[in-house]
């Protein structure tokens, strides 16, 4: 069993729950509310900027040129997706640059990006790349699953095509291969940290979609919760 197969086995229940989320089921059949998807796409654009920064930080720690080039290329690809796919949907939904800039980053998005940046900046290279893996892997698997049943007139067909396409599939496989190579040379303690980083990022993936579906921002204290006197 490869190391990434171990990761998949240890997070199987959580990842199955992500596939079954109302957001992804509604995305698959095209019934997802435009308002929910609009909020998601704005937060995803914020997220991808942070994701690209984390990829760049991880690239700076890579032990050899091939990994540097791969991660730097993935960072550039994340920005390209943000500009092309998100521009398509923001234009479709009438989201202006001012609307985007004026929308605060959600708590779920902020927490996920902060975790990735911390893993890449403070963690070692194996921990950093494993924390980054779920965003590749989960999106690929969900995209491919949805593509099998989605109709051609699905309003979210551009999103589905991006994440079920061959180009993205190849980038995911390169990331899986990189994590497996790194794990082959890692100590037991390092592999344990890699498992923890992967599980935590999978949880953040679930939280990001759950927050988008319920249109959550930042929870605020209620007056009745404040104890005085």
Residue 166 and residue 3: Cα distance in Å, rounded? 23
Q: What percent of the chain is predicted at pLDDT more than 90?
A: 72
Residue 229: pLDDT band with limits 50, 70, 90? low
Say what the pLDDT of residue 102 is.
80
Q: Is residue 226 predicted with pLDDT exceeding 70?
A: no
Average pLDDT estimate for 33-41: 92
Say what the pLDDT of residue 166 is.
93
Report how far apart the first and last C-alpha atoms of the chain are (Å, whole number).
Answer: 60
Q: Cα angle at 10 between 6 and 107, to 5 degrees? A: 120
Looking at per-residue confidence, does 77 or 172 come out higher? Answer: 172
Say what the pLDDT of residue 19 is.
95
Say what the pLDDT of residue 78 is.
81
Q: Is residue 10 predicted with pLDDT exceeding 70?
A: yes
Say what the pLDDT of residue 98 is.
78
- pTM equals 0.92
CB atoms near residue 12 (< 10 Å):
10
CB atoms near residue 174 (< 10 Å):
17
Q: Domains of the chain by range and CATH?
A: 3-216 (1.20.910.10)
DSSP assignments along 108-129, one per residue:
HHHHHHHHHHHHHHHS-HHHHH
DSSP letter at 63?
A: S
**Which of 137, 140, 147 has its CA nearest to residue 202?**
137
Average pLDDT estimate for 3-20: 97
Residue 173 and residue 170: Cα distance in Å, rounded? 5
Average pLDDT estimate for 63-68: 90
CB atoms near residue 153 (< 10 Å):
7
Residue 224: pLDDT band with limits 50, 70, 90? low
Average pLDDT estimate for 30-47: 92
Residue 59 and residue 72: Cα distance in Å, rounded? 6
The mean of the pLDDT values for the chain is 91
Q: Is residue 135 predicted with pLDDT exceeding 60?
A: yes
Q: Is residue 41 predicted with pLDDT exceeding 70?
A: yes
pLDDT tens by residue, 46-62: 999 999 999 999 999 99
């Amino acid at each position: 069993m490869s190391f990434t197969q171990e990761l998949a086995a240890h997070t199987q229940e959580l990842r199955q729950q992500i596939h079954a989320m109302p957001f992804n089921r509604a995305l698959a059949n095209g019934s997802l509310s435009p308002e929910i998807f609009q909020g998601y796409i704005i937060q995803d654009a914020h997220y991808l900027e942070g994701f690209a920064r984390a990829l760049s930080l991880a690239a700076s720690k890579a032990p050899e040129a091939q990994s540097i080039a791969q991660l730097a290329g993935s960072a550039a690809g994340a920005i390209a997706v943000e500009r092309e796919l998100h521009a398509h949907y923001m234009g479709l939904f009438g989201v202006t640059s001012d609307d985007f800039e004026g929308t605060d980053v959600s708590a779920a998005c902020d927490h996920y990006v902060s975790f990735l940046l911390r893993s890449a900046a403070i963690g070692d290279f194996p921990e950093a790349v494993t924390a980054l893996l779920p965003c590749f892997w989960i999106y690929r698997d969900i995209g491919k699953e949805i593509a099998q049943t989605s109709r051609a007139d699905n309003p979210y067909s551009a999103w589905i095509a991006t994440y079920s396409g061959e180009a993205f599939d190849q980038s995911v496989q390169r990331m899986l291969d990189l994590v497996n190579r790194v794990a082959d040379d890692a100590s037991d303690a390092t592999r344990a940290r890699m498992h923890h980083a992967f599980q935590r990022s999978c949880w953040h993936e679930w939280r990001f979609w759950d927050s988008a579906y319920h249109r959550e921002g930042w929870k605020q204290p209620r007056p009745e919760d404040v104890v005085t006197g």
